Amino acid sequence: MNQDRKTPVAGTHYAKAPERDSIGDNASVETLVAEIIADVRKRGDEAVRDYSRKFDKADLDVFEVTPQEREEALAGLDPQTRADTEFAISNVRHFAEAQLKTIQPLEIELLPGLHLGHRVIPVERVGCYVPGGRYPLLSAPIMTIVPAKVAGCAEVVACLPPNAHKAMIAGCHLSGADRIFRIGGAQAIAAMAYGTETVPAVNKIVGPGNAFVNEAKRQVFGPVGIDQLAGPSEIFIVADSTGDAEMIATDLLAQAEHDVKTRVGLITTDAGLAAATLKEVERQLETLSTAPVAGQAWRDYGEIVVCDSEEAMIAYSDFIAAEHLQVHTADAQATARKLSNYGSLFIGELASVVYSDKCCGTNHTLPTMGAGRYTGGLWVGAYVKIATHQWLDERGVATVAPPAARQSASESLEGHRRAAQLRLDRLQKKVG
């Protein structure tokens, strides 16, 4: 967290997560990532092949997944898994289509003869990084590829680690990826950013990954766009005395099993609920198959805070700006309206993060590390550009040129003044 930002007084801490920051957490990989990026820029496919051998233990002559391999991966997909994947794709697509309809072109005549507007232009070529992870995350390609296709991107390139489960290839295919490459890590980001003999250079890179992927996205930003710098996952729950300790503990641990650095927390106005949740977490860890991961995340990054009032609870939640924020209060809708900073909001105890993580339709690629204070998550709008334009007729020139010329003169920008004045002089000569 930013140490210059004052932490609201929240009350009693039953457990306190350590401070984290996106730069400090990645400091140890910065130099290595820079070397990988420079090497891929210089040697292209040869460098990618070397790093695939070194980091992924994969020796591939051809990186791109062939149409036949796509069909084989699809054929090998369990029928129920395919049906569930298509259910998720349908929901994400329909929600993205509804969002896109809210982004409209604009044309206005601001003053007589002065016409302004903007166009909604899809990013031409997008690169989607699809993490392999500890488990086959079948929802991952859906969240990055489907909105890109809805937005109208001309080409969508997907990269996933060479050792990723074949079901992930099927997921990329079903989601609509135009090209799929078996390249992981920082070398995948470098390949998509600068292009190689076989991987096309893209205009924007989206999708989460490990510390190496995150750092690589940070370093290539500029020549290409990126969606965000995402750290380990986060979930916080705000709750009053009506909260259910078993349900809260279950949801916290569900997210904690993602990664040992997942940050999980409860912010409540009820000390009894805090104590019950603490006890319930420990009870559930005894039988949770993913306890080695979830338990470490809980011990290292778990937090339970008891606040003196609802106002303090809201203030502390807005300070944390959690990636996933659940609301378990007597009037969850009313509480939700008071919250401002979060990646995605889950209103009421029936709305679990797992639904968004997998298939309900909202995107699970969300801001972490407090970035919810200034941005939302990945959405169809991330794949389009809002590009302005303007045109003037003679009335517009007569209105705009004089102040533009005067302002340019006051700034000692003679070239600017001449450009503004030339059109005005010709207009005056024409009408004179």
Q: Pick the catalytic residue from 324, 328, 349, 364.
A: 324
Q: Pick the catalytic residue from 234, 257, 303, 323.
A: 323
User: What are the contacts of 317-321 at 24+ separation with CB within 8 A?
Assistant: 317/236, 317/238, 317/267, 317/341, 317/342, 318/373, 319/5, 319/7, 319/8, 320/236, 320/265, 320/267, 320/370, 321/367, 321/370, 321/371, 321/372, 321/373
173 noted as active-site residue = no
Distance separating alpha carbons of residues 258 and 143, to the nearest angstrom = 17
Give the neighbor-by-neighbor strand order of the sheet with 324-328: 12-15, 302-306, 263-268, 234-239, 324-328, 344-347
Q: Which residues of 85-96 are buried (b: 16+ CB within 10 A; e: fewer)?
A: beebbebbbebb
Tokens 């292209």 belong to which residue?
44
Do the Cβ atoms of 174 and 131 come closer than 8 Å? no
Q: Give the ranges where 211-268 is alpha helix by DSSP (H).
A: 211-220, 245-256
Contacts for 228 with CB less than 8 Å, ≥ 6 apart: 365, 367, 371, 375, 377, 378
311 noted as active-site residue = no
How far from each other are the two terminal CA atoms of the chain, in whole angstroms? 65
Do the Cβ atoms of 194 and 223 come closer than 8 Å? yes
Do the Cβ atoms of 44 and 339 come closer than 8 Å? no
- Catalytic positions, written as ranges: 323-324
